[in-house]
């Protein structure tokens, strides 16, 4: 399956559910490198390859084989792959690479809860309050464990004062849960600029979450954090009640 929308390149490992028709593995490719502003690209255990760059994809097809190449606009090869079938069946190695659809859905449902809203811009001498609105898990009827931390790139420029935030996400029958973290800048060229929906930080500040329910565990990523008037008012209200 080949799609666009996200302005990045991603080739997923074969994705398959545990039972029924969904158990047949499918390779998904996101190719959105045609020229619009690029999105951020993060590593994920479901991905075989990924990059945030302008590109195009070439696929050569025969009756039994698909050969693909992702190529940048300066003719650098980003990724190559080959999918084969014999008598309608993929190779055993293809099935061995399958990533569970249930884990990927878990990551997608948790991701909106991982975009922090900042009460102020973090500095080296003063930490900023980051507010997370943790949304109920609508499709899962058992407790989901969540650990929020900085992405690898963000950890070069920022730090969480008290370490990762650990919690249990609300169930479908429960309300949103608000949690806070304190973020401090490391002091290597941090800055603030105006974005379309609030002040944005430079370098970008992004959070990731390790999500687990029963034996299923995966990783999810939030969007770029912004300084928010709503977070500032909420932090001020909490401080006044103390």
Encode pLDDT of 31-47 as tens digits.
999 999 999 999 999 99
Q: What angle do CA 57, 10, 60 make, to 5 degrees?
A: 30
- pLDDT higher than 90, residue 18: no
Average pLDDT, the chain: 92
Given a cut of 80, is residue 190 above it in pLDDT?
A: no
What is the percent of the chain with per-residue pLDDT over 90, rounded to a whole number? 82
Is pLDDT at 207 greater than 80 in this prediction?
yes
Give this prediction's pTM: 0.89
Binning pLDDT at 50, 70 and 90, where does residue 139 land? confident
Give me the pLDDT at residue 193, please: 63
Instruction: Tell me what pLDDT residue 195 has.
Output: 59
Q: Are 184 and 155 in contact (CB under 8 A)?
A: no
Q: 156, 207 in Cβ contact below 8 A?
A: no
pLDDT at 197 over 60: no
Mean pLDDT computed over 71-90: 95
Please, where in the chain does CATH 2.60.40.10 lie? Answer: 105-241
- pLDDT, mean of residues 150-164: 95
The mean pLDDT of 95-112, rounded to a whole number, is 95
| Average of per-residue pLDDT across 201-227 | 94
Average pLDDT over residues 39-64: 96
- The highest-level CATH class for domain 105-241 is mainly beta
Looking at the chain, the whole-number percentage of residues with pLDDT higher than 70 is 95
Can you name the residues that pair with 78 across neighbouring β-strands? none
Contacts made by residues 150-154, CB under 8 angstroms, sequence distance 24+? 150/205, 150/206, 150/207, 150/208, 151/42, 151/206, 151/207, 151/208, 151/221, 153/203, 153/204, 153/206, 154/203, 154/204, 154/205, 154/206, 154/207
Residue 196 pLDDT grade (very low, low, confident, very high; cuts 50, 70, 90) = low
């Amino acid at each position: 399956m080949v799609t666009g929308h996200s302005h990045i390149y991603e080739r997923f490992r074969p994705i398959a559910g545990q039972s029924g028709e969904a158990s047949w593995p499918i390779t998904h490719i996101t190719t959105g490198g045609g020229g619009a502003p690029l999105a951020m690209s993060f590593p994920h255990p479901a991905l075989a390859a990924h990059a945030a760059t302008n590109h195009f994809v070439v696929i050569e097809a025969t009756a039994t084989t698909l050969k693909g190449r992702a190529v940048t606009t300066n003719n650098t090869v980003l990724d190559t792959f080959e999918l084969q079938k014999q008598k309608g069946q993929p190779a055993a190695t293809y099935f061995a690479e399958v990533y569970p659809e249930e884990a990927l859905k878990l990551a997608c449902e948790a991701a909106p809860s991982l975009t922090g809203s900042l009460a102020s811009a973090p500095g080296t001498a003063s930490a900023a309050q980051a507010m997370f609105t943790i949304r109920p898990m609508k499709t899962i009827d058992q407790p989901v464990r969540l650990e929020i931390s900085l992405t690898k790139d963000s950890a070069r420029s920022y730090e969480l004062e008290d370490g990762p935030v650990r919690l249990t996400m609300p169930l479908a029958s429960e309300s949103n849960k608000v949690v806070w973290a304190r973020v401090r800048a490391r002091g290597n060229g941090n800055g603030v600029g105006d974005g379309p929906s609030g002040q944005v930080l430079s370098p970008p500040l992004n959070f990731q979450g390790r999500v687990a329910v029963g034996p299923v565990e995966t990783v999810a990523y939030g969007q770029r954090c912004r300084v928010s008037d709503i977070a500032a008012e909420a932090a001020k209200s909490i401080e006044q009640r103390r």
